[in-house]
Structure 1
Amino acid sequence: MSEATARLDEALQAFFTRRLAEPYPYLILDARYERIREAGVIAGQAVVVAIGVDWEGRRQVLGVELANRESRSSWREFVTRLKRRGLAGVEFVVSDDHPGLRAAIREMLPEAVWQRCYMHFLRNALDYVPRKVDDDCLMELRWFYDRCDLAEVERDLAHGSASGRPNTETGGLGGNNIEETLSFYRLPLPHHKHISRLTLLERLNQEIKRCTLVVASSPTRRAVCGWFGRWPWRSTRTGSRRPLPQHGSSVRA
């Protein structure tokens, strides 16, 4: 068992330090918190994760690290290490609205377009409306993300502002902030469903949570990284069998 564990450690170390030789135009960043046992002490730590999507539409876990907390410095160091390993060609970044993560993206990936996960946005939007109109407001906001192009969304937003519908009264969420969630309309239509939110990463997080719920005690750093690391070898795509457009054309101006 100890020999098998040692071989696994070597394989994981090689995977998480491997050279990223090909460009990843789409980058998805997120974090979850786990209670980690280290040196006999159990404490909550942030597990920061990056998933990249290459030009063929294949997605891979690029890196997994543990940090004491989510902060600008921890995210900046994480992205810095990815770039040292060869991360390049990032044109579109998907994440939630965590201020430290946003600041790190602006600093480390200034050339990339940022997409705020619209599912997180919708959850936040409901905090600004009375509970009795939650369902109606949620349904109306979700309609914006089923359109074919940005022009349709802009017409809907303009009509909503003129009619005073609930979505325009969510503390500004129906105005400037909602634009942060519409960047994915610059992408090819087949990619909208999977790149407009953090579904790819949240699905992986659900699988990790299934593992952590059944262990007898808090996992170690090695166990958590190992659970994330076993996923990248699966052959998965962004939902469209067609490859991404050629370099430089995936994000429309």
Structure 2
Amino acid sequence: MIANRRSNVLTRPDHKIVDRTKIRDGKVANRPIYVVMAVTVDGTRDILGIWAGDGGEGAKYWLHVFTELKNRGLDDVLMLVCDGLKGLPDAVETVWPRTIVQTCVVHLLRNSFRYAARQDWDKVAGALRPVYTAPGEDAATERFLEFQEAWGRKYPAIVKLWSDAWAEFVPFLSFDVEIRKVICSTNAIESVNARIRRAVRARGHFPNEAAALKCIYMALMSLDPTGKGRKRWTMRWKAPLNAFQIAFEGRLTPSNN
């Protein structure tokens, strides 16, 4: 695993939750399965681990996960992109104090549509676009106030959603467009999640947690057997790598390739 090579610094761990998995523990219950995916300085995507939760995870749980990763050799994390997992920012600060925690912008947008009528989706998306494409935090704040004035009365839950996530959303705005592309895109992790969902749904439910994790592990091991996806990703990585090198000067170890 790449996390065991201490010379590599991870640039973008994706902390994602897969669909809840049915596990029998006395009775069949839905359990979340968490996947941590990282991108190294070489542009290589790696699955660092999978963990089963119970839906009530907090800072203590994530501290355990991150401490395990650090003990396995993950010395530094530049950015960690996640989707509103409670307690996670506090745990990250304890293990890697300099890590920037960034809310997944794509998921923030998707969650916004949950509160909007379908006929308003295009209008809401258009009104939010100036917020997440703003050149900086001040401009984004102005655009968000405009969105709040236009839509706040009809969709107060969307305003609250963005307000609650604002502290983890704004780091995105201070970076070069190449870094924004890497942070904003969820294609890499979504393709992983899609493969896992197919494997899990084919089984229905599992007799225990170990069986569920084994099934997901086997699905992950079958990803991209030809290596073509990895090659395409690496080819697109050079421009973001240069941007990361400047933004995180002194922390990002150059590739020897």
Q: What residue is the counterpart of 2:61 in the other structure?
A: 74
3-state SS in 2 of match to 1:51: strand
Q: Which is worse superposed, 159-168 or 187-196?
A: 159-168
Question: In the alignment, which of 128, 132, 137 is matched to residue 141 of structure 1?
Answer: 128
Shift of 1:76: 1.7
Counterpart Cα distance in 2 of 1:97 and 1:186: 20
Amino acid at match of 1:242: K
Amino acid at match of 2:236: S
Q: Does 1:102 align with 2:95?
A: no
Shift of 1:113: 0.9
Question: In the alignment, which of 185, 196, 214 is matched to residue 202 of structure 2?
Answer: 214
Shift of 1:178: 3.7
Counterpart Cα distance in 1 of 2:152 and 2:33: 34
Counterpart Cα distance in 2 of 1:150 and 1:137: 20
Asked whether the equivalents of residues 17 and 32 of structure 2 are also in contact (C-alpha less than 8 Å), the reply is yes
Normalising by the residue count of structure 1, what TM-score does the alignment of the two structures yield? 0.73
Q: 1:175/1:229 Cα in 2 relative to 1: closer, same or farther (>3 Å)?
A: same
Q: Does 1:224 align with 2:216?
A: yes
Counterpart Cα distance in 1 of 2:56 and 2:221: 20
Asked whether the equivalents of residues 13 and 37 of structure 2 are also in contact (C-alpha less than 8 Å), the reply is yes
Q: Which is worse superposed, 93-102 or 167-176?
A: 167-176
Q: 1:162/1:220 Cα in 2 relative to 1: closer, same or farther (>3 Å)?
A: closer
Q: Does 1:31 align with 2:45?
A: no
Q: What residue is the counterpart of 1:51 in the other structure?
A: 37
By percentage of residues, which structure has more helix?
2
Amino acid at match of 1:158: E
Normalising by the residue count of structure 2, what TM-score does the alignment of the two structures yield? 0.72
Asked whether the equivalents of residues 78 and 248 of structure 2 are also in contact (C-alpha less than 8 Å), the reply is yes
Shift of 1:51: 1.0
Q: What residue is the counterpart of 1:9 in the other structure?
A: none
Q: What residue is the counterpart of 1:182 in the other structure?
A: 170
Amino acid at match of 2:122: D
Counterpart Cα distance in 1 of 2:112 and 2:177: 25
Give the unaligned 5+ runs of structure 2: 250-257
Shift of 1:199: 3.8
Shift of 1:141: 1.0
Amino acid at match of 2:76: G
Q: What residue is the counterpart of 2:135 in the other structure?
A: 150
Give the unaligned 5+ runs of structure 1: 1-14
Counterpart Cα distance in 1 of 2:129 and 2:191: 20
Question: In the alignment, which of 97, 115, 118 is matched to residue 105 of structure 2?
Answer: 118
Shift of 1:228: 2.4
Counterpart Cα distance in 1 of 2:244 and 2:106: 28
Q: What residue is the counterpart of 1:245 in the other structure?
A: 242
Q: Which is worse superposed, 56-65 or 131-140?
A: 131-140
Q: 1:97/1:176 Cα in 2 relative to 1: closer, same or farther (>3 Å)?
A: closer
Counterpart Cα distance in 1 of 2:162 and 2:110: 13
Q: What residue is the counterpart of 1:19 in the other structure?
A: 4
Amino acid at match of 1:77: H
Shift of 1:159: 5.0
Counterpart Cα distance in 2 of 1:116 and 1:228: 24
3-state SS in 2 of match to 1:245: helix
Percent of aligned pairs with the same amino acid:
20
Amino acid at match of 2:194: Q
Counterpart Cα distance in 1 of 2:120 and 2:172: 27
Asked whether the equivalents of residues 95 and 197 of structure 1 are also in contact (C-alpha less than 8 Å), the reply is no
Q: Which is worse superposed, 171-180 or 115-124?
A: 171-180
